[in-house]
Structure 1
Amino acid sequence: MSTPAPPRPPGTLRIGSIAGIDVLITSSWFVVAFLIAVTFAPRIEVVQPGLGVLKYVAGFVFAVILYLSVLLHEASHAVTAKRLGYGVTSITLHFLGGMTEIDGQSRRPRHEFWIAVVGPLTSIAIGVAAVGLWFVVPDGLLQVAVEGLAGANLVIGVLNLVPGLPLDGGRVLKALVWGASGNQHRATIVAAWGGRVVALALLAWPLVQDRVIGEPPTILDLVLVFILGLFLWTGATAALAHARMRQRLPALVARPLARRTLTVPEDLPLAEAVRRAQEAQAGSIVTVAPDGSPLGIVSEAAVAAMPPERRPWVAVSTVARALEEGLTLPATVAGEELILAISRRPAEEYLLVEEDGRIYGVLSTADVDRAFRANAAG
């Protein structure tokens, strides 16, 4: 049976695939394509007068060519990640460029480095190739397109190497700090603060632009600086918050959070099962088969909702959730692995088992939430 494809994010359109990876565009891409067409049209008019409305069509074609180079930038991230053993969900082209959705965090600093740096290097290579091509193509629209492609890719490549998250250069900085310190979370915090500094510097640029390059900022300059600065600040802040959260995850261990468990036959009356659990001071009940293998976890919420007068006449299995895939976890699960396991298969309770299959206890997500909040407060 084939695995169904994951649903696409809202507002996106699939336009193809690269190496088995879906390529999506957002609705905002059409906005930026329109802006590029309008911005590029006067330059086209100078080179090829008399085109009329076709100059906007030529500008739109240039926008498509430019975003094809952005797609190559993102595809280099995706292919490198796949070669290093990571799953890649999709490549998305949007208003500010592109994004590659890679499953999980990098396992090693060198993985982080190569996945990050290959994108800007690809853009720079495209830019250099376009510069060389500029000298051999004939004058006219083609030369203008190659000129624009060269300039845009060189700018994209160099700017993406600026050391601050969420830029690729921020991930390069993270990889270097991670490799030197051995602490991934500290490296993320350093790179995130680098992103904040870059965002503040970008937002301050219009204040000094006239003195530095002799040209006062235009309204378009101010809008672009604000959008890019906000994007960098928001991305860096999110990375900072995520790193701080991940720093607390190692303290989150399933074993000490597990509730003591009573095992009972699935046909036992619920009232008797509850009585036995109270007598044994157990915080959870698991139904088992005659051979002792676990069948289900009794839902605390379902027991509370069952009227006491009905409990003697109801089998405990009626308020138990069958142990489907993902509801049984190793008793040693902890940290990020614990959070990922819960997010992959949301439930109220999970059965914890030892390596030899023996039942250790039941883990409640409510207990995990309380422990996480306690660690955050501490």
Structure 2
Amino acid sequence: MAENKGDRPTGGLLMGRPFGVPVYVTPTWFLIAALITWIFGGEIDTVLPGLGRLRYLVALFFALAFYGSVLVHELAHTVVALRLKLPVRRIQLQFFGGVSEIEKEAETAGREFWLAFAGPLLSLVLGGVFLLGLSLVTARTVPGVLLAALMLSNFVVAVFNLLPGLPLDGGRMLRAVVWKVTGNSMTGTVAATWAGRVLAVLVLVGMPAAGALQGVSESTSTMLIDAVLGAVLAAIIWNGAAGSLRAARLREHLPEIGARALARPVVCVASDTPLAEALRRLELVGARGLVIVDGAGAPTALVREQLVRTVPEHRRPWTSSGAVARSLEAGLRIPVELAGEELLDALRATPAAEYLVQAADGAVVGVLAAVDVERAFALAMAGLSPVPAASQA
């Protein structure tokens, strides 16, 4: 399934860069690989009892080959995304499969549909290839068992990912269809999100119920595993659907998150101005930021709000404003026109608590506080306008 995410996964191991996209294996992958090896090793013993302990080596090979198939599934998303000129940050192989982290949304419903469908389509093709290979080997042999298991697992991956609910590929296809019909991508996202929530409930109830219907043919431990896996999978689908909706809301409001709208009004003072006097001027005009300027009125530094709090009130008349300021590096000067993704890229390039917002002619517009940007993000993900009405006017 294709998703949009952040930076390098914690503890992730870089396995390679096919098509220039880094592929990471997260620590949770080793857990599921070990679980697959243990469960499949026990199943092999019923078909090929003569293998003994070697059955676990065969099971480990299956686990690796299965995740190789998952990687091919994700590479299908990646290749289509790159052809559509959508940047792909990375691919992750993790507990329940893989994730292709695509940084931008497809521009049209049609492109979104094919981007989502590429993964399941490749899984179906792989299943067909393994089915063809199965016809060329003898049943109840190691190659026969491996090919049958890989055929079945790829068909299961394809069918599961085609289920119509976010964050699965089928959910993105459903979103694309609703988007095409209504002409509104957000309407498609909401519909696919609710479909994902319904799907999560069905998985939560359905997996244990399916095991219970098998009755005595399934052990208590296996039924317990079904229940636990059902609960984990349902939680992943539910949270993934909610995350997709938050991301869509953020994309919808992202253009509103701009330096001009979020800039705090400021007061400009000389470096040797006592901090107490600078704060008095700030309060007098209702401003929320202090900028240090030189003799010609050009900005040279920003007074850091966090450092101001550390200066006791009785020391502020004797502390210069410049003593609690940070010099203006190139990355701390933000053009007033920056908004949306361009603004975020600028802030990521130079992390700081405050930035100076300047007009094209160098005039000081205000100070952009990182906490204000974070608050705007939180409002956007909640489906609310990230900028107060007064700022938009």
Q: TM-score range by the shorter chain?
A: 0.7 to 0.9
Letter matched to residue 177 of structure 1: V
Choose 116-125 or 81-90, whichever is displaced more: 81-90
Look up the match of 1:39: 39
Instruction: Report the secondary structure of 1:19's partner residue.
Output: helix
Look up the match of 1:113: 113
* 1:156 equivalent in alignment to 2:161: no
Look up the match of 1:74: 74
Look up the match of 1:364: 369
Summarize the Cα distance change of 1:105–1:356 in structure 2 as closer, same or farther, 3 Å threshold. Answer: farther
Letter matched to residue 74 of structure 1: E
Look up the match of 2:143: 142
Look up the match of 2:16: 16
Matches of 2:231 and 2:333, distance apart in 1: 49
Instruction: Report the secondary structure of 2:51's partner residue.
Output: coil
Instruction: Report the secondary structure of 2:17's partner residue.
Output: strand
Is the 1:189–1:243 contact (alpha carbons within 8 Å) kept by the matching residues of 2? no
Instruction: Report the secondary structure of 2:90's partner residue.
Output: strand
- The two structures have a TM-score, normalised by structure 2, of 0.78
Look up the match of 1:285: 290
Matches of 2:283 and 2:239, distance apart in 1: 50
| Structure 2: segments with no counterpart, 5+ residues | 1-5, 386-393
Residue-by-residue CA offset, 1:21-61 (whole Å, 9 max, x unaligned): 33222333233223323333355445544221011111111
Matches of 1:107 and 1:35, distance apart in 2: 40
Is the 1:262–1:285 contact (alpha carbons within 8 Å) kept by the matching residues of 2? yes
Is the 2:88–2:100 contact (alpha carbons within 8 Å) kept by the matching residues of 1? yes
Matches of 1:362 and 1:70, distance apart in 2: 47
RMSD between superposed Cα atoms in Å: 3.7
Letter matched to residue 230 of structure 1: A
Look up the match of 2:50: 50
Matches of 2:124 and 2:143, distance apart in 1: 20
Percent of pairs with identical residues = 42
- The two structures have a TM-score, normalised by structure 1, of 0.81
Is the 1:116–1:171 contact (alpha carbons within 8 Å) kept by the matching residues of 2? yes
Q: Where do residues 248-327 of structure 1 align in structure 2 (5 Å cutoff)?
A: 254-270=259-275, 273-274=278-279, 277=282, 282-289=287-294, 292-307=297-312, 310-311=315-316, 314-327=319-332
Task: Quote how far apart the aligned CAs of 1:320 are.
Answer: 1.6
Is the 1:116–1:168 contact (alpha carbons within 8 Å) kept by the matching residues of 2? yes
Matches of 1:343 and 1:31, distance apart in 2: 33
Matches of 2:8 and 2:70, distance apart in 1: 20
Determine which of 335, 352, 363 is the counterpart of 2:357. 352
Task: Quote how far apart the aligned CAs of 1:169 are.
Answer: 1.2
Task: Quote how far apart the aligned CAs of 1:335 are.
Answer: 5.8
Summarize the Cα distance change of 1:263–1:309 in structure 2 as closer, same or farther, 3 Å threshold. Answer: same
Task: Quote how far apart the aligned CAs of 1:293 are.
Answer: 4.0
Task: Quote how far apart the aligned CAs of 1:74 are.
Answer: 1.4
Matches of 1:273 and 1:222, distance apart in 2: 63
Task: Quote how far apart the aligned CAs of 1:122 are.
Answer: 1.1
Letter matched to residue 114 of structure 2: W
Residue-by-residue CA offset, 1:68-89 (whole Å, 9 max, x unaligned): 1111111222333333333333
Task: Quote how far apart the aligned CAs of 1:157 are.
Answer: 1.0
Matches of 1:174 and 1:41, distance apart in 2: 39
Summarize the Cα distance change of 1:266–1:135 in structure 2 as closer, same or farther, 3 Å threshold. Answer: same
Query: Looking at both structures, which has the greater relative contact order when contacts are Cα pairs under 8 Å and sequence separation is at least 6?
Result: 2
Task: Quote how far apart the aligned CAs of 1:263 are.
Answer: 2.9
| Structure 1: segments with no counterpart, 5+ residues | 1-5
* 1:189 equivalent in alignment to 2:195: no
Task: Quote how far apart the aligned CAs of 1:118 are.
Answer: 1.3
Instruction: Report the secondary structure of 2:22's partner residue.
Output: strand
Letter matched to residue 113 of structure 1: F
Summarize the Cα distance change of 1:231–1:313 in structure 2 as closer, same or farther, 3 Å threshold. Answer: closer
Matches of 1:197 and 1:129, distance apart in 2: 33
Instruction: Report the secondary structure of 1:133's partner residue.
Output: helix
Look up the match of 1:62: 62
Summarize the Cα distance change of 1:138–1:369 in structure 2 as closer, same or farther, 3 Å threshold. Answer: closer
Look up the match of 1:85: 85
Is the 2:131–2:147 contact (alpha carbons within 8 Å) kept by the matching residues of 1? yes
Summarize the Cα distance change of 1:354–1:107 in structure 2 as closer, same or farther, 3 Å threshold. Answer: farther
Summarize the Cα distance change of 1:325–1:190 in structure 2 as closer, same or farther, 3 Å threshold. Answer: farther
